[in-house]
Amino acid sequence: MLWSKYFIPTLKEVPAGTEAVSHQLLLRAGLVHMLTSGVYSYLPLGWKVLKRIEMIIREEMDAAGAHELLMPAIQPMDLWQQTGRDKALEEVMIRFKNKKGQSMCLGPTHEEIITDLVKSFVQSYRQLPVTLYQIQAKFRDETRPRFGVVRACEFIMKDAYSFDINIEGLQKNYDAMYGAYCRIFSRCGLKPIIAEADTGAMGGRVSHEFLVPAAIGEDKAKDESGVERQCIEVGHIFQLGTKYSESLGALFLDEQGKQNPIIMGCYGIGVSRLIATIIEVHNDEKGICWPQEIAPFTIEILPLQVKDEEVMRVARSYYDELTKRHIDVLMDDRDESAGRKFNDADLIGIPFRITIGKRGLTEGNVEIKIRASNAVEVVSRDSALERLSALVAGE
Ligand code: ATP
Ligand code: MG
């Protein structure tokens, strides 16, 4: 991708009214744009990171045996009345009447919807167990939208639901999801504290929260050394039991021909909250330092003098060769000052940067910078590609 042809509206100044570092960097690096309080657009760079996170989630969910589907955001209120959660979630629900006068809402979560869906298809123990998930926008009229996408009114969640014939089955699915969550967060460069939690408005028996230590965290948890830390909740898993299947009549016939309520679990990840959390953890005074697996690009090529033929010839040769090797490259081909380009590069935080300048080239050298450590290496222009490949491969 060429920067001049792309859409990265970076900002020099810290936007007014922003407290969280992640919020400031999300805006300054041109990742998101606020439409109104708690409601955000994802700009191309932010959308790219979001898609990388979603890809990791999909890989781990699929590997754990869950199947992806997509449910509607528009939901009839009568399903919510059947479980009593029209009251429990009254504060955050965005409700409206359709033209026929039917009470509707925009889904704040999907337990009722999926239970109703599974009820229409599953009759027998032979059709169970099954785990289904989706990645979708959720709507909650939060009293205090805060810290940018950390607490938003429209946000992206991964929600999964398991359906079993007995507690042993539920435990097995719960353990599989627990393991998948550990892998997902680790691949996102996070080390959450896992804490037993309240089941709250969700109901049910056992539940665990995945909490990432960060200054702006609104939850508290003790880390491995027993120190209490402010944390951001990035995921929450529940053994629901039969609360939803009983009130909505999602039953199955067991081997003896007896009817029982399906035993459920539910598993949520705040996908858009994850972007902010990753930035809270991976930043320095100059900007974002993306972990490689979720970075919007892997390498940034930075030619200093875009009007110099030799500089651009070398830059383009790297660009073509890296692209051929299926490495996602961004080339800052803008005719801007070196200072501006360096600052923007540090701000958007691509893991590896290669700088090509007239002076270096006269000695046959280019410069590689590793964003996470800010380490700089001067290498010969002929060995640069091999060095970059090794860095990308984690060597
Ligand atoms: P919180 O306690 O932070 O309000 P919750 O317990 O209501 O969250 P869940 O219903 O468990 O949230 O939703 C699953 C995940 O979705 C949460 O772990 C969190 O990461 C994310 N999430 C919840 N509310 C929001 C929000 N308003 N904006 C962004 N992400 C959210
Ligand atoms: Mg929760």
| Residue pLDDT, tens place only, 117-158 | 999 999 999 999 999 999 999 999 999 999 999 999 999 999
Using CB atoms within 10 Å of the CB of residue 41, give its burial: 0 to 12 exposed, 13 to 18 middle, 19+ buried: exposed
Segment 51-56 mean pLDDT:
98
Ligand 2 mean position, distance from CA 326 (Å): 38
Structure tokens at 318: 């790297």
Beta-bridge mates of residue 287: 284
Convert the pLDDT of each residue in 89-110 to its tens digit. 999 999 999 999 999 999 999 9
For tokens 């041109």, name the residue: 30
Q: Where do the CATH 3.40.50.800 domains begin and end in the chain?
A: 297-392
> How many residues are given for the chain?
395
Residue 217's SS3 state is coil
Q: Tokens 């919807």 identify what position?
A: 113
> Are the CB atoms for 152 and 141 separated by under 8 Å?
no
Within 6 A (CB) of ligand 1 lie 109, 140, 142, 151-152, 155, 157, 233-236, 268, 270, 272-273
Q: What is the pLDDT of residue 202?
A: 64
Cβ atoms 173, 187 nearer than 8 A: no
* Residues 54, 225: Cα–Cα separation, whole Å: 32
Q: Which fold has domain 297-392?
A: Rossmann fold (3.40.50)
6-287 classified as CATH 3.30.930.10: yes
Residues of the chain with CATH 3.30.930.10: 6-287
Closest CA to 298 of 372, 200, 190: 372
Tell which residue, 168, 156, 231, 159, has the closest CA to residue 202. 159
Atom of ligand 1 nearest to the CA of 142: 27
CA atoms within 13 A of residue 174's CA, in its CB half-sphere = 23
- Ligand 1: residue whose CA is nearest its atom 8: 233
Contact predicate 79/113, CB 8 Å: yes
Alpha carbons 204 and 194: distance in angstroms, whole number: 18
Amino acid identity, position 378 = V
Ligand 1 atom with minimal separation from the 210 CA: 18
- Interval between CA 83 and ligand 2 midpoint (Å): 19
Reduced to 3 states, what is the DSSP secondary structure of residue 89?
A: coil
Whole-number pLDDT of residue 61: 98
Q: Residues 173-216: pLDDT tens digits? A: 999 999 999 999 999 999 999 999 877 766 667 999 999 999 99
Residue with the smallest CA separation from ligand 1 atom 16 is: 270
**Ligand nearest to the backbone CA of 157:** 1
Q: Which of 30-44, 46-60, 200-214 has the lowest mean pLDDT?
A: 200-214
C-alpha–C-alpha distance, residues 117 and 67, integer Å: 14
Q: Render pLDDT for 278-335 as a digit per residue (tens, 0 to 9).
A: 999 999 999 999 999 999 999 999 999 999 999 999 999 999 999 999 999 999 999 9
Cα 189 to averaged position of ligand 1 atoms, centre (Å) = 20
Concatenated DSSP letters of 112-169: HHHHHHHHHH--BGGG--EEEEEEEEEE---SS-BTGGGB-SEEEEEEEEEEESSHHH
Per-residue model confidence as pLDDT tens digits over 217-263:
999 999 999 999 999 999 999 999 999 999 999 999 999 999 999 99
Quote the ligand 1 centre to 270 CA distance (angstroms): 6
Mutation test residue for ligand 1: of 273, 275, 277, 280, the one with most atoms within 8 Å of CB:
273
| pLDDT value for 198 | 76
Q: Specify the pTM.
A: 0.97
